[in-house]
Every structure is written in structure tokens, then in C-alpha cells.
Amino acid sequence: MMNHYFLLFLMLTLTVGCADRKTKTTSNENVETTSISAYNGTASITQGIATTISEAIYSCERGRKTDVGKITSTDQKEWIVPAETNYTNSEFPFAADLFNSCEGITYKTAEEALSHYDESNSIVIDQEGDLYTAYIFADNYFEMYVNGIPVGKDKVPFTEFNSSIVRFKAKKPFTVAMKLVDWEEHLGVGCEANRGKPFHAGDGGMVAVIKDAQNNIIAATDENWKAQTFYTAPIVDLGCVSEEGNYRYSKNCSTEGGQDGSSFYALHWEVPTDWMKTDFDDSNWPNATTFSNRTIGVDNKPSYTNFTSIFDDSKKDAQFIWSTNVVLDNEVLVRYIVN
């Protein structure tokens, strides 16, 4: 009889133990997402991977594949991801290279880069205006307007990391407006393979310095710029996002990513058609959030470190800016008036 009870106890113990092991989760398992009903904001919601519509719009030997996709939201709107850009628009001028290892351009100083600059590439906003030079490092891509006129776009949409020069003639005051895009490998969910995870949330960040013909800094990115997000991903829990007026917050959302992001959500807001114009009202946009060099991770990137005399000038240290979430916000518009 004692042996009978012992065998029964042993079988129950093994059964419970096996059940416990089956319910344990590991970092390799899929991330569980919440239902769409958890969201009550103003964005359109998409879930999963977008359909690729353009492959390799730019090719760099050591860079990530740069594709463009399309995805339909639950309200039946179509969205281009990571953003609708002018990269393939021949009428939108490319910026000149400050540093571009994809094309073998590895200038050590801004002076060296400027010595190779073709002045015919300068954009004239006002014929009687003054000449200004903008130095830009964007993670990953930018398009720049002055008074609503295109003055330069990034040559490298994704990686390797590059930096750029934009020259233009304008009269003060003038309005700088930029579209910033954190590109993505997994279209529609804001992710790339990184740090041991196939679906790792990438981060953004942009720094810019504008100088006059006398080499004086007349503007630099800081918290006084305006910044608004229009595409946020990946989102696992739709209840983590919040809005206060025109402020779109995802600070309570996870940035961990995972092994399988095919069920991740994304939030999309429509971009105003006149966002780059001088008379566009950005008064209800949030001010830009600033980030340190360390947070953005530029201390090992020569496209930045070769030019710290510009970006980290002791008299006017330009700050990396973005919207409130430099990891999850993937399409950001920024504006600033130079007086």
C-alpha cells in the first residue's frame, strides 16, 4: 500500500512539474500584443509587416537594405513606410557630402569638404539674400526646406552613417523645415536586426548647425525647435500610448522588440500638405526633445566625430533633437524660424 501511494505521489509531482515548464516564457518566444480596442487616440492603426513596393532605393556595400513599403490601416487608409519621401524625386536636390563612406568620401575636416563643394549646387531662395551653410548629421534620413523650397536631401537614406552640407541664399527671417526618418529593415513595424534580436527598435536623432558667410553660427538645433511625430512603431501594448492635445506620447511603451515582430502595431498620423511652408502654424506642436551624443551613439562615427568643431562648438553646442521618443517615433517633422 505504501508503494502504491508513493508511486501516485511521484506521478502527480512529475505531471505538475511538466505543466510548470510548459507555461514558462523565454526571450525567444513571440511577444504578445494587446487588442486594438486598447487604443483610444487619433492615429490610424496598422499591424504586422508592410508589403514592399520599392527595393534597394539606395545601395551601400556595408549598409542596410533600403526598401519602401505600403500597409493598410484598420480604417482602410494606405500608408507608405517608413515615410513618404522625395528620395527618388529628381527635382528635389541632394545635399553635398560632408562625409559619405558609402561613396568613398571621408573628409577629415569641414574645410576639406568645402574645398570640394560645387557652388552651382547652392539653392537661391532670395537673389538678394545672404549665403548660409548648413551642416547636418541625421540618423537616418532628412529632407530640408527653407521657406517651403527644397534645399537638400540626404544621399544615404539608411546606413552607413553619413553627414551633409546644404548651402542656400536667403533673407532673414527664414523658416527651416525638415522631414526626419528613422529607416527600418522590417517595414511597417519600425524594427531592424540588432543586438541579437531580429526585431529591434531602431533610434533616430538629428543635429544641425547653420553658419553665415563669416563662419558665425546663426542657428543650431536645440529645444527651441518644434518637433512632431507622424509614425510610431513598434507598439506592443496599444494602451501604453497617450495624447494631450497635440502631444503624442509613447514614453510608457516598451522598446525591447523581440524575436518575432510580425504582430507588432504601428500608429500613423496624416502629414499636413503645407507643413514646410512659412505660414504653417506649428504653435501647438511640442518643442523638440534634446538628446546627448551618448544617447544617440555617435562617438564612434567619423561622419560625426570628424566635425565636432562644428557640431560641438564650445560657444554654441548643437543638440541632437527628435520628438519625445527617439526610439519609437520614426517619422518626425521639425521646424525653426531663423531671425
What is the average pLDDT score of the chain?
Answer: 92
User: What is the tally of structural domains in the chain?
Assistant: 1
The model's pLDDT over 300-332, given as tens digits with 9 standing for 90+, comes to 999 999 999 999 999 999 999 999 999 999 999
User: Cβ neighbours of residue 30 under 8 Å, at least 6 residues apart?
Assistant: 258, 259, 260, 263
Decide if 312 is inside a domain: yes
* pLDDT confidence of residue 154: 98
Decide if 86 is inside a domain: yes
CA dihedral 82→83→84→85, nearest 10 degrees, is -100
pLDDT band for position 123 (cuts 50, 70, 90):
very high
* pLDDT confidence of residue 30: 62
Helix (H) or strand (E) holding 145: strand 141-146
Cα-based distances in Å from 333 to 21, 49, 57, 208, 307: 48, 24, 22, 14, 25
DSSP per residue, 269-293: -PPPTTTTSTT---TTSPBPEEE-H
Decide if 21 is inside a domain: no
The structure's pTM equals: 0.90
Helix (H) or strand (E) holding 81: strand 78-81
Over range 235-239, report the average pLDDT: 96
pLDDT above 90 coverage of the chain, percent: 88
* pLDDT confidence of residue 7: 41
Judged against a pLDDT cut of 50, whether residue 188 lies above it is answered with yes
The model's pLDDT over 249-285, given as tens digits with 9 standing for 90+, comes to 999 999 999 999 999 999 999 999 999 999 999 999 9
**Which residues span the domain enclosing 84?**
36-338
pLDDT band for position 16 (cuts 50, 70, 90):
very low
Decide if 268 is inside a domain: yes
Decide if 267 is inside a domain: yes
Decide if 11 is inside a domain: no
Decide if 17 is inside a domain: no
Over range 161-184, report the average pLDDT: 98
Judged against a pLDDT cut of 60, whether residue 12 lies above it is answered with no
Over range 136-153, report the average pLDDT: 98
